[in-house]
């Protein structure tokens, strides 16, 4: 009966004395002002109701009303002893100021860097408990320990681990884009969508910090994890091992057979060259071949497929004596994310002064062998000729051989 009452108020009991009191945002169309959200976003917050009560993170400020109704419902007049701040980013900590006013005796818990950030964000000074790697809180017959995760993806990031029940409150690690759709658990969700949005989240938010993620995953492997409660996306209660394995694969930048073709075209001539390359790849039996118009596709979808697949072809026109701006932005994004170990083909076009191919070559050279250039590199003046199309077809053939080699 108690569980039914909780769930009528949007509360979900995740485990013994552990409750989800987060928020589902189906109105947001961008995350961090950049990444498309076709399925919305979940902001997960958890309450442990042991002898001592512990809140794990809060929610984005726009969802405070429901959050506090749920929190008060579960506490039922009990004090809130601790609020663990796994991450200070406002989608995690947006309700913190009001929380401190409503529960003035609550002790905030986090890393040393968390304390500094809380001063800057919320003017917090005092009432803070600093924890280090492996230290724990005694909740009365239950212990909560801490795993430092610096630069995954902020310097103060950490995870919290319920030693008694094997529950990892993992922060952004194992998170994903998308609001929950009725079910809050992995075995209630459409896992194909969950894993697609989880990878897109990884590449967009965590990808640059993959080396640091590998180190944190090594720590996670030493824990006896029975459930993963991330800050975004579903709770992994049936297959936490699946979530860990996916993150290990992505953090090692393991790739699959497939090629991404991305073009920037003003009047369709660069697009025609890209279509010829994509068709050649298909005729060689490569699948999938993902084709993107850089000016019309959100960067998160493009970079996620580039992270996933072994081959990339960039086709770019020259614009105002430089590479077409959406392709130039993509080059900066790929460099920022430290992608490596893939094959790349290049096709540049121009009408009177070539520039695009030069910029793309400079990107490849800067990688110092991280990107492996596939011949031929193609430069087309104005409109593709028959010879140009044949060169595009040859690039497709050579790329197919390279990614299978």
What is the pLDDT, as a whole number, of residue 3? 47
Distance, in Å, from the CA atom of 56 to the CA atom of 227, rounded to the nearest integer, reads 15
Return the CATH number of 257-404, one of 3.40.50.2300, 3.40.50.720, 3.40.1370.10, 3.40.50.360: 3.40.50.360
What would be the CATH architecture of the domain defined by 2-251? 4-Layer Sandwich (3.60)
- List the structure tokens of 345: 């083909």
Backbone φ and ψ for 159, nearest 5 degrees, come out as -120, 160
Count CB neighbours of 203 within 10 A: 26
Nearest Cα neighbor of 311 from 385, 246, 201, 395 is 395
pLDDT of amino acid 78: 96
Q: How far is CA 243 from CA 63, 187, 202, 303, in A?
A: 27, 12, 12, 20
Q: What is the pLDDT of residue 151?
A: 96
The residues spanned by each domain of the chain are: 2-251, 257-404
Nearest to 125 by CA among 111, 108, 137: 108
Q: Which residues of 102-134 are buried (b: 16+ CB within 10 A; e: fewer)?
A: ebeebbbbbbebbbebbeeebebeeebeebeee
pLDDT for the residue numbered 9: 65
Rounded CA-CA distance 324/404 in Å is 30
Question: pTM of the prediction?
Answer: 0.94
Average pLDDT for runs of 10 along the chain of length 405 = 51 94 94 95 97 97 94 96 97 95 96 94 91 94 95 96 97 95 90 96 97 97 98 96 97 97 97 98 98 97 98 98 98 94 97 97 92 98 97 98 95
């Amino acid at each position: 009966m108690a569980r039914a009452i909780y769930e009528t108020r949007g509360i979900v009991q995740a485990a013994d004395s552990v409750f989800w009191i987060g928020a589902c945002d189906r109105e947001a169309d961008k995350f961090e002002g950049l990444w498309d959200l076709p399925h919305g976003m979940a902001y997960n917050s958890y309450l442990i109701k042991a002898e001592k009560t512990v809140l794990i993170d809060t929610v984005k400020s726009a969802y405070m009303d429901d959050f506090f109704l749920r929190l008060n419902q579960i506490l039922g007049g009990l004090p809130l002893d601790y609020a663990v701040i796994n991450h200070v980013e406002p989608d995690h900590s947006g309700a913190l100021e009001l929380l401190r006013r409503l529960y003035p005796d609550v002790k905030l818990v986090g890393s040393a860097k968390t304390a500094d950030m809380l001063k800057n964000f919320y003017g917090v000074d005092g009432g803070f408990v600093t924890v280090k790697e492996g230290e724990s809180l005694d909740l009365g017959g239950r212990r909560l320990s801490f795993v430092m995760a610096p630069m995954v993806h902020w310097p103060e990031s950490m995870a919290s681990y319920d030693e008694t029940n094997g529950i990892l409150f993992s922060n952004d690690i194992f998170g994903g884009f998308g609001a929950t759709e009725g079910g809050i658990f992995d075995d209630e969700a459409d896992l194909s969508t969950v894993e697609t949005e989880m990878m897109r989240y990884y590449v967009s938010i965590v990808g640059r910090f993959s080396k640091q993620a590998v180190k944190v995953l090594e720590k996670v492997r030493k824990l006896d994890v029975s459930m993963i409660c991330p800050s975004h996306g579903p709770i992994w209660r049936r297959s936490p091992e699946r979530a860990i394995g996916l993150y290990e694969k992505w953090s090692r930048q393991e790739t699959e057979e497939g090629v991404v073709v991305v073009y920037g075209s003003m009047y369709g001539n660069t697009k025609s060259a890209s279509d010829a390359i994509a068709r050649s790849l298909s005729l060689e039996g490569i699948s999938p071949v993902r084709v993107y118009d850089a000016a019309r596709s959100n960067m998160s979808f493009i970079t996620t497929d580039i992270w996933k697949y072994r081959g990339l072809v960039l086709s770019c026109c020259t614009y105002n004596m430089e590479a077409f701006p959406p392709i130039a932005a993509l080059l900066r994004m790929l460099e920022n994310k430290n992608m490596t170990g893939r094959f790349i083909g290049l096709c540049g076009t121009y009408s009177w002064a070539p520039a695009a191919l030069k910029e793309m070559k400079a990107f490849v050279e800067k990688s110092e062998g991280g990107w492996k250039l596939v011949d031929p590199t193609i430069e087309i003046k104005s409109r593709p000729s028959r010879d140009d199309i044949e060169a595009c077809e040859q690039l497709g053939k050579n790329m197919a051989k390279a990614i299978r080699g």
